[in-house]
Structure 1
């Protein structure tokens, strides 16, 4: 019998630092984080997909500030990094005005630039960032959003950010023959991670479209777990969505992963039903995973331009 997996759901109606900090303290205590983290390298890995389009596409800067304060209080050495679709993590932080919110904390910004080629379990070869794995605790901080290719994006999909730059688009082309095949790649990335937790930003979720364009939905939820698959399963429940329409959940269930089983999840704080009736809308029809070749060439050109103008 699989061990029960804790999913910590808290109610946060707005990005208020005191409310965020209290919720995060409760989540981290339930996840068993030690009170002292002196000397520990904690990597904050938000969703910094782009500096363009809706601000809802990125993890909130207020949440990042609250996490930075929390881990600073516990004596940690805080790192922050991601590999955005366009430009650098630093450029997205500036464009989204997140940099000003976190500047008072001693945070080391790390760009994901050092390639490490990995052979994964299900016949994938992928190049990831060495910087993303060089930490004692990997804090995965996804934004809860609709996703036109993967139905929704939450904890597992956010891990795709450890794949280096343009190699993301190549992975779409090479491993995106089906939605389930691409989902398998996401699931295989989990095994590369050091100790990790996921903190999902669902205070202002994005629905109807995504991952960059979409509409605001005031979900009022901040969630935590130490199993990204279980986190995704819980969020699908919370949003009252059909799990069989979510490729990542389908692939996880096919593998019989413990986090894909509803009966394996326990909720010490709030329950998913307390968030029912939110009205979250996910795409009815999923787009193909591979990018149009012309779009891929344009994306490549834009990356080169942004790199030259950092």
Structure 2
């Protein structure tokens, strides 16, 4: 059985978070079960982009503080590292409040810049991942619970995509991002290359709607933890009311018979699951109804069955972030506004995810509009 620990934490007040994290880990044997004295422990938060903590885009700094203190309490050497979707890791860490916590606690900040090539064992033959991520003695995964326009949900497994450094993220979106199932398989293979020793989920305030960068903060009041990232994700999705058929990462895990992918093999501990009353998260905009279509139809009807990004000129400041973050280089600035090449666009929505001004909307294709109307009627 895979244990997933749950604890109620109503706010980010430092003492409440500290006690909540201690109780959360106590149900799993305490931090001393995962970290030994002298071990270098990489804590990997979500550092998606340079947003303040209240935006719920990144892991909250008080969660990071509590975990660093727990690692230090048992004699571990705390390192903190990630590679953001856009901008420098230091800038994102500073804006999110995490850099101040790192400096106050005496932890070491290790931005992911240097890479190491590792061999894959599945669909993908080779990956370049951050060297600190691969070489730390222990790995603690510290994701934020958020909806995700491409993967429906981002939590433990998806957070590990941060081990892919800088522009390589765009390369992977270009290689696998046009197919959600293929992209989910890639995420699972990254996870298998270095499975975390411990996963702790910040769901005190989660994100719903058009996450992971443009959604709305929503109070959930929970922390989750467990050794198995897939199992923790499955319980998080259950609490968030996300249908299993939309969990691409979980589906990929089940297809590969990965441990943690079966609900009957998961035991929840700590705060009783049956006593939790969590409102289902509002899911992202439905942007794709191609599931199950043969390849030749997907190619021909792609524009009709999917959504495409469009600019809201009133909000767009032509900052160029979307141009830099677009894997297939499908965006240009012409005539004083953004222009999209929809033949090249792979519908990964990295542009929407990273736009600092929430200036990008989605326009549904004709058949997608019809499918939504039919779904609503039934």
How high is the TM-score relative to the length of structure 1? Answer: 0.88
Give the 3 Å change call, closer, same or farther, for CA 296–183 of structure 1 in structure 2: farther
2:280 equivalent in structure 1: 279
1:123 equivalent in structure 2: 123
Contact 1:137 1:194 in 2 (8 A): no
2:330 equivalent in structure 1: 294
The CA deviation at 1:126 is 2.0
The CA deviation at 1:268 is 1.6
Unaligned runs of 5+ in 2: 289-305, 309-325, 339-349, 352-378
| More displaced 10-residue stretch of structure 1: 23-32 or 65-74 | 23-32
Number of aligned positions between the proteins:
298
Q: Aligned equivalents of 2:168 and 2:332: distance in 1?
A: 11
1:69 equivalent in structure 2: 69
1:19 equivalent in structure 2: 16
Counterpart pick for 1:5 among 2, 7, 10: 2
The structure whose Rg is larger is 2
RMSD: 2.6
The CA deviation at 1:281 is 1.0
Give the 3 Å change call, closer, same or farther, for CA 228–286 of structure 1 in structure 2: farther
1:107 equivalent in structure 2: 107
Residues 42-92 of structure 1 show CA distances to partners (whole Å, capped at 9, x for unaligned) of 111000000048731100011111111221222211100000011222111
1:308 equivalent in structure 2: none
Q: Aligned equivalents of 1:253 and 1:184: distance in 2?
A: 11
Higher relative contact order (CA 8 A, sep 6+): 1
Q: Aligned equivalents of 1:238 and 1:283: distance in 2?
A: 16
Q: Secondary structure at the match of 1:85?
A: coil
Unaligned runs of 5+ in 1: 301-310
2:343 equivalent in structure 1: none
1:34 equivalent in structure 2: 32
Contact 1:140 1:199 in 2 (8 A): yes
Contact 2:102 2:108 in 1 (8 A): no
2:243 equivalent in structure 1: 242
How high is the TM-score relative to the length of structure 2? Answer: 0.73
Contact 1:204 1:218 in 2 (8 A): yes
The CA deviation at 1:101 is 3.2
Q: Does 1:80 align with 2:80?
A: yes
1:195-206 matched pairs, under 5 angstroms: 196-206=197-207
